[in-house]
């Protein structure tokens, strides 16, 4: 499902609606993620800077199932610009993996934005303190086929575990937080910018535990995959001690056939207004032209390449 400014839309119906409301060729659809994650408010800010600073186009932002859904929608023409994890985008471009059987064509990179942090969250009452404690529990691993689920399976594998070891629940940030609070699940694996609104809301209602990614498992993932970086969660959620984990990068992708000049103007609008993104979400403090190519995992759009050649 997609939402346009609070209106629920069946995936694919947005094109017809926008066409009925105006000139679709001048409207850029920004695909984000769940409303309680970082993609949604940052996507709203991307739409705002486009509307304020790109004369040729208007923009609208949509709530979606995030990375994998967004990549497929962009490839299918059901969106123009989208948020994704850099690892998901890489798997899409390469194909031949569990998530993209064939290489996905028509999707190119625009910019990397901020670290998306792997957060293994449990209520204190569950007694979960380590990844191995998830055995026999009920655990949310993200929406089916989402970037979070991709990461969750890799994290579990690095710890010698799989979905066979516990009861799997496919839930997004908000639903997982509600289920934890209601006692319907024991833990959730969330991949998002910190602090994540869903976890903040949960921590205000219940005592929570964030589980470390064990050092050996972290090193194995760092050795095997080019996307992960070490990350320490500090000063969030009222935690008593830092939590050692890993992160991937959030990035923007776009339809390959979008006009080069449009992409150039969109990136100009974003990076001329970097400070505005911090007001949308804390993860926006990381958005910077200086780091916009760090962790870029797929080919750049020609308009983006031109922008960086002239501005970095």
Shared domain for 130 and 90, answered yes or no, is no
Mean pLDDT of 120-139: 96
Q: State the sign of the Cα–Cα–Cα–Cα dihedral 50, 52, 58, 62.
A: positive
Strands 81-85 and 243-255: antiparallel
Q: Is the pLDDT of residue 195 over 90?
A: no
CATH (domain of 231) = 3.40.190.10
Mean pLDDT of 180-186: 94
Mean pLDDT of 147-168: 94
Separation between Cα atoms, residue 198 and residue 139, nearest integer Å? 16
**Binning pLDDT at 50, 70 and 90, where does residue 17 land?**
very low
Q: What's the domain count of the chain?
A: 2
Shared domain for 160 and 240, answered yes or no, is yes
Q: Is 94 helix (H, G, I), strand (E, B) or coil?
A: helix
Shared domain for 230 and 125, answered yes or no, is yes
Shared domain for 150 and 214, answered yes or no, is yes
Q: Is the pLDDT of residue 25 over 50?
A: yes
Q: For 220-268, what is each residue's pLDDT tens digit?
A: 999 988 788 889 999 889 888 999 999 999 999 999 999 999 999 999 9
Instruction: For residue 282, give its domain range.
Output: 2-114+251-311
Q: State the sign of the Cα–Cα–Cα–Cα dihedral 88, 91, 92, 93.
A: positive
Q: State the sign of the Cα–Cα–Cα–Cα dihedral 139, 143, 144, 150.
A: negative
Q: Is the pLDDT of residue 11 over 70?
A: no
Shared domain for 103 and 23, answered yes or no, is yes
Q: Is the pLDDT of residue 122 over 90?
A: yes
Q: For 57-94, what is each residue's pLDDT tens digit?
A: 999 999 998 899 999 999 999 999 999 999 999 999 99
Q: Is the pLDDT of residue 20 over 80?
A: no
Shared domain for 80 and 6, answered yes or no, is yes
Q: Is the pLDDT of residue 9 over 70?
A: no
3-state secondary structure string, 163-206? HHHCEEECCCHHHHHHHHHHCCCCEEEEEECCCCHHHHHHHHHC
Q: Is the pLDDT of residue 6 over 70?
A: no
């Amino acid at each position: 499902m997609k939402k346009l400014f609070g209106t629920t839309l069946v995936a694919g119906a947005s094109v017809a609606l926008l066409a009925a409301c105006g000139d679709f060729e001048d409207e850029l659809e920004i695909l984000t993620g769940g409303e309680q994650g970082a993609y949604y408010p940052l996507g709203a800010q991307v739409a705002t800077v486009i509307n304020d600073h790109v004369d040729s186009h208007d923009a609208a932002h949509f709530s979606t199932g995030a990375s994998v859904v967004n990549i497929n929608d962009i490839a299918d023409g059901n969106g123009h610009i989208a948020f994704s994890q850099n690892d998901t985008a890489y798997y899409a471009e390469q194909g031949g993996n569990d998530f993209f059987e064939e290489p996905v064509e028509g999707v190119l990179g625009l910019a990397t934005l901020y670290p998306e942090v792997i957060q293994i969250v449990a209520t204190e009452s569950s007694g979960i303190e380590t990844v191995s404690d998830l055995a026999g529990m009920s655990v949310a691993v993200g929406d089916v086929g989402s970037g979070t689920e991709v990461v969750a399976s890799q994290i579990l594998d690095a710890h010698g575990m799989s979905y066979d070891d516990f009861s799997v629940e496919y839930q997004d940030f908000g639903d997982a937080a509600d289920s934890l609070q209601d006692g319907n699940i024991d833990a959730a694996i969330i991949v998002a910018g910190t602090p994540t609104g869903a976890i903040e809301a949960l921590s205000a209602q219940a005592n929570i535990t964030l589980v470390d990614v064990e050092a050996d498992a972290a090193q194995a993932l760092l050795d095997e995959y080019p996307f992960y970086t070490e990350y320490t969660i500090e000063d969030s959620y009222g935690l008593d001690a830092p939590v050692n984990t890993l992160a991937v990068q959030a990035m923007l992708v776009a339809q390959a056939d979008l006009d080069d000049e449009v992409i150039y103007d969109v990136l100009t609008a974003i990076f001329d207004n970097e400070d505005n993104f911090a007001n949308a979400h804390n993860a926006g403090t990381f958005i910077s032209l200086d780091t916009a190519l760090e962790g870029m995992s797929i080919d750049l759009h020609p308009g983006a390449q031109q922008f960086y050649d002239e501005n970095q």
